[in-house]
Amino acid sequence: MNALLEVKDLNVSFQGNENEKGNENEKESGTAVFYVSFSIREKETLALVGETGCGKSVVAHAIMRLLPPESRVKGTIEFGGKNLLELSEKEMTKLRGKEISIIFQNPSLALNPVYSIGHQLAEPLRIHGQEKRKGKEWKEKEERKEKVWREKEEKNEKGLKMRKNNFSNVARVLKRMGFSNPHEYMGYYPSWCSGGMNQRFLIAASTMLDPVLIIADEPSKGLDRNRVAELEIELKRLKEKSETAILLISHDLGFVRRLADRVAVMYAGEIVEIADPSSLFERPLHPYTQGLLNSLPERGFVPIPGSSPPLSSPPEGCRFHPRCPFKEKLCMQEHPELKESNGRAVRCFLCL
Amino acid sequence: MSLKAENLSRKYGSGLLGRGKCIFRDVSFELEPGKTFGLMGPSGEGKSTLGRIISGLESPTDGAVFFNGNPLSRMKKAEYTTFRRKVQMMFQDPTDAFNPRKRIKHSIFEVLNLLEISGTERIRCTKEILKTTGLPEEVLLRYPSQLSGGQLQRLALGRILLLDPEYIVLDEPTSALDVSVQAQILHLLKNVQAEQGISYLLISHDEAVIRFMSDSCGELENGQMDLIEV
């Protein structure tokens, strides 16, 4: 199957955390994502898992080109034959929401509290609808300047029609998401709804224009078990019916195991293991993946000793060696490469 | 020291005209010294509200919370101050527990200033807290946004420990954290309890977490609390 998205040697660093003295010249810099490469095939669900701060969300934001100005992004992100990092902001706006969309982490922060749900869900339709409309109007104005008034009337009619169409599209998507009375929910405000409902509205917004790739950034975070089960059903339905590829970012390993076709484990800004869920969960190779699975409740909450290294000064050699129970001399001296064998990839000298 | 809840009920929207909605009624339990009482149940059943009532941050509609045999509502100012120091609350999202515009050291020193601790004693207390929670000294110079959720939750616990509490209400302390950090925080809480004999009221919707941590537990559902075996 063809690769829909191909990320090659993605490197993201941030500059700008002033030190204690506030000296501009002594600003700290940190590499959040360190030469990350992976691909997502059409209709595939690839999960990115790992500790908070390991760079999962930074990868997602780099793909969407939503990183702050102080970030430096290197490498290539190929999508549909184009390198997303080379597109202009105008070209990227055309792509966001229509071809690639994102479900953000926290629904209470992602939804605007002062606008109704219906208004916010229609936003992708308005943005992508307007692009076409502006082009048409400009041509019409150029060609028929003498019919200005008639054109204005036409424009109003078109706007009205478009608004009606937008709202019926929103209602259709909400109905598809299992809301029995979509017109009622369209008048609701985010504060009137539970976290689970708001999460479903965000999914509805991201699927409004049937994108080919959806990035779900920690969609189950903070939701209780019932809400997570509902979310899982939604994402499964999206996978099966809409045939959308999903980049699923989560630290909920059970959720990932049930949904993903392949899992990539990240640690301190780099991918340390990629495998299909059954081999990863049953026979993890990398010591970090083993530690991560031992932290699960069913394995007795055994923590990994120590904490992740600071991004501004990662350790020499293997980044996991200070916490690794099996480390050898080589692990402290050389940095291991991600090597593939038998359909899975691992970055560890001891597993090769 | 003892902390006891007797027949607690909480209604919302019970004004002059409305009858209000009862969130829970007749909830009673006692926190035993050095033990953990787990409180579980689905979202929206009033677990956090119950935690806030036990910490004195909200009042019950009916019933009372007794600290050392005295009901909170009839406490004198000095007694109430002692209660507020001895019963602390740790919240779900550690990022909300720290001022985003201040470095961590300011948030820690704020508590020490309240306790009128300064100079070398202040540095000693801060170092001790960092040692207990397993954090490096460099975190003091960071802003909350520069630290991970696990580091912030450790700091939140450390800041609480400065007040030498007898009871801590843990409101979903690990639900915003990932599995490996969750395991670390749960073990840290257990170690602190073993060393300092603190009692916990642990609120969580995760049954595995409750069963791992608790000596006794209750489930809040449909406005009632049922005691269940751990």
* A79 and A121 in a common domain: no
Answer with the residue of higher pLDDT: B166 or A14. Answer: B166
Give chain A positions within 8 Å (CB) of B141. 20
Any domain includes A321: no
- Residue span of the structural domain in which A241 resides: 3-19+27-110+210-304
Residue B175 is nearest to which of A52, A222, A296, comparing CB atoms? A222
Whether residues A222 and B178 touch (CB distance < 8 A) is answered with no
Stretches where chain A sits below pLDDT 50 are: 19-26
Count of residues making up chain B? 230
Whether chain A has a CB inside 8 Å of the CB on B134: the answer is: yes
pLDDT of residue A101: 94
Residue B180 is nearest to which of A227, A304, A310, comparing CB atoms? A304
Any domain includes A323: no
CB atoms within 10 A of CB B76: 9
Please state, in angstroms and rounded to a whole number, the distance separating the CA atoms of residues A169 and A7. Answer: 33
Any domain includes A42: yes
Any domain includes A123: yes
Any domain includes A202: no
Query: Does the structure show a pLDDT above 80 at B43?
Result: no
B79-104: pLDDT as tens digits: 999 999 999 999 888 888 899 999 99
Residue B205 is nearest to which of A225, A296, A297, comparing CB atoms? A225
DSSP state of A96: B
* A284 and A145 in a common domain: no
Closest-CA distance of chain A to residue B27, Å: 23
Interface of B with A in 149-188 (CB under 8 A): 149-151, 175-184, 186-187
* A89 and A71 in a common domain: yes
* A162 and A100 in a common domain: no
Read off the pLDDT of each residue in B118-140 and give the average, rounded to a whole number: 91
* A95 and A61 in a common domain: yes
B196 contacts B60 by C-beta, under 8 angstroms: no
Please state, in angstroms and rounded to a whole number, the distance separating the CA atoms of residues B173 and B186. Answer: 9
A149-182: pLDDT as tens digits: 566 656 666 666 666 677 788 888 888 777 888 8
Residue A303 is nearest to which of B183, B206, B212, comparing CB atoms? B183
Domains and CATH numbers, chain B: 3-228 (3.40.50.300)
pLDDT of residue A24: 45
In B, minimum Cα distance to A311 occurs at B146
Domain count, chain A: 2
Whether residues A53 and B183 touch (CB distance < 8 A) is answered with no
* A222 and A103 in a common domain: yes
* A53 and A128 in a common domain: no
Closest to A337 measured CA to CA, from A351, A349, A350: A349
In B, minimum Cα distance to A290 occurs at B180
* A177 and A250 in a common domain: no
Any domain includes A131: yes
Using left for φ > 0, alpha for ψ between -120 and 50, and beta otherwise, residue B149 falls in: alpha
**CATH number for A239:** 3.40.50.300
Give chain B positions within 8 Å (CB) of A298. 208
Closest-CA distance of chain B to residue A305, Å: 8
Sheet strands side by side (includes B224-228): B87-90, B167-171, B199-204, B36-40, B216-221, B224-228
Closest to B116 measured CA to CA, from B103, B125, B105: B125
Residue B221 identity (one-letter amino acid):
E
B105-126: pLDDT as tens digits: 999 999 999 899 988 999 999 9
Task: Show the tokens assigned to A298.
Answer: 């069913």
* A225 and A98 in a common domain: yes
* A135 and A76 in a common domain: no
* A122 and A66 in a common domain: no
Give chain A positions within 8 Å (CB) of B105. none
Q: What is the DSSP string of B145-165?
A: GGS-HHHHHHHHHHHHHTT--
B171-229: pLDDT as tens digits: 999 887 888 889 999 999 999 999 999 999 999 988 889 999 999 999 998 889 999 88
CB atoms within 10 A of CB A319: 24
B14-28: pLDDT as tens digits: 665 556 778 899 999
Q: Max alpha carbon distance in chain A (Å)? A: 82
Give chain B positions within 8 Å (CB) of A253. 179
Indicate whether this complex's ipTM tops 0.90: no
* A223 and A178 in a common domain: no
Question: What's the predicted TM-score (pTM) here?
Answer: 0.81
